[in-house]
Amino acid sequence: MNTITNPVLRGFNPDPSIIRAGDDYYIATSTFEWFPGVQIHHSRDLIHWRLLKHPLDRISQLNMQGNGDSDGVWAPCLSYDNGIFYLIFTDVKSHKGAFKDTHNYMVTATDIEGPWSEPVYLNSSGFDPSLFHDDDGRKWLVNMLWDFRKGKNKFGGIVVQEYSQAEQKLVGPVTNIFKGTELGFTEAPHLYRHNGYYYLFTAEGGTRYQHTVTVARSASLLGPYEVDPLNPVLTSSGNPGLTLQKAGHASLVETQAGEWYMAHLCARPVDGHHCILGRETALQKCYWDKGGWLRLEGGGNSPYVEVQAPSLPLHPFEPESERDDFNEPLLGNHWSTLRIPPDPSWLSLSEREGFLRLKGMESLSSLHKQSLVARRQQSFWFEAETVIEFEPANFQQMAGLILYYNTQDYVYLRITHLEQHGRVIGIIQSKHGVYDELLAADLQLPESGPIRLKAIVNRDCLQFYYATEADSWRPVGEEINILHLSDEAAEPLRFTGTFVGVCVQDLGGTRKHADFDYFVYREME
């Protein structure tokens, strides 16, 4: 018997929307302020997955410049009908305070790898939009309704409205079909039709440790909906010993052989509470009981780490290379940039062949134009290494190796220039938005020549190293606790995960560049 080992998508890959098209399975996940938007992973056996595509890859589809931390792309919904792939997503412009500016769009493609269309605007009444294709050919958009009014339940229920493909817009009345249960925070709707019923999947309890999957059903699409008598169908709440915490926000897929699997969000705390890797994606095998309700194979409603795989031929993929020598004309799939696309005005893989050249822009506090390229941390124990050529002229020019959660929380091994010492290396940190310099004095470097940089992370501990061409690795400072690089480290709610990468700043506006010869990301567990 083959086994699925959870999480199947490790590191920051939340809010999974799973579909099957023929013999191929796809999962779309949220990307928030990271560009390009939406990650689509591909599998043929539900065991092995590869990152296939980011469909929102141009600014005409997704303009996030100025979006706040944990804004951007929330909860995409991927679906497939009559040879067309549909992707519904929210571009959140603000989620702080009473109000949420949540604009919902749709893009389509006849090939999962694109090209994907320009976006069609749908509505802004709430987030977590999902498109349901009914058996009669009609299409319906469901989303949670945000109610900002004082004294009201902010999570105002699940609303549905018909989508006209001919007119490319929503038409007809808006109907609130489900107000949720006493668990509250009702969101993440997905509709399915099975054995004469409409099944409404929602997430409840909030996307932290009380997260759940709630299922309700109705004989009519517009309700009324009856809640599963054994609700919740899936949760980790109240069971801190489970490896997979925060289980919720689920979607459903049926295999070619009639087996059922649920994709859901989960997280693995590094210390019992802080989830440095962010929210991840897991799969659970399910079945329909005699009463027509969905149940977990193996019993109970807690997520399993080991799950029986479907009866499909194994289909492994070539493993991703640990080393990127920047020899290709475009950035590899695993790289992301902050809010803005990798425009040639600030990023080039051709100006110096075999190097990634970044031109310094705004500070690490900026919500607009940061010169930063990073990839997800996907293991508790890993090392990252690069070599940099950078000759700063003043303290406003910086470049180096960074572990980044958001503008409030990062740790940065940076090279800069100080008046009294020339070129130096040191560590700067932002913790809960408070700037700090972690060395009593920066370490002096030769005025020119490449510098190797390394980070080793072991769970909640980070150690930086550097080396000149002729020398071996030397530690920079002491071990650093990085629990603040997590969803749980600060309020209000935030939703991403830790990234590791390279960046350049030039706060004087002269666009001083740094060249990176390679980048190694090596997992050690």
Active site residues: 15, 187
DSSP output for 454-465: EEEEETTEEEEE
Whether residue 149 contacts residue 91, with contact meaning beta carbons closer than 8 Å, is answered with no
Q: What is the 3-state secondary structure (H, E, C) of 75-144?
A: EEEEEEECCEEEEEEEEEEECCCCCCEEEEEEEEECCCCCCCCCCEEEECCCCCCEEEECCCCCEEEEEE
Residue carrying structure tokens 């124990």: 381
Maximum C-alpha span of the chain: 78
> What is the bridge-based pairing of β-strands 474-481 and 461-468?
antiparallel
CB-neighbour burial class of residue 352 (10 A; exposed 0-12, middle 13-18, buried 19+):
middle
- Matching residue, tokens 């699925």: 4
Strand partners, 5: 306
191 phi and psi angles, rounded to 5 deg: -105, 140
Phi and psi, residue 300, nearest 5°: 75, -170
Residue type, 374: A
Token pair listed for 171: 């038409």
Residue 379 · residue 461 · CB < 8 Å: no
**Residue 488: helix, strand or coil by DSSP?**
helix
| 252-258 own/partner pairs: CB under 8 Å, 24+ apart | 252/18, 252/190, 252/192, 252/199, 252/201, 252/286, 252/294, 253/18, 253/19, 253/20, 253/25, 254/20, 255/20, 255/46, 255/310, 255/311, 255/312, 256/20, 256/23, 256/312, 257/310, 257/311, 257/312
The half-sphere exposure of 408 on its side-chain side, counting CA atoms within 13 A, is 17
Question: CA-to-CA distance for 256 and 519, rounded, in angstroms?
Answer: 40
- Cβ neighbours, 10 Å, residue 223: 18
Report helix, strand and coil shares of the chain as percent, to nearest 5.
Answer: 0, 50, 50
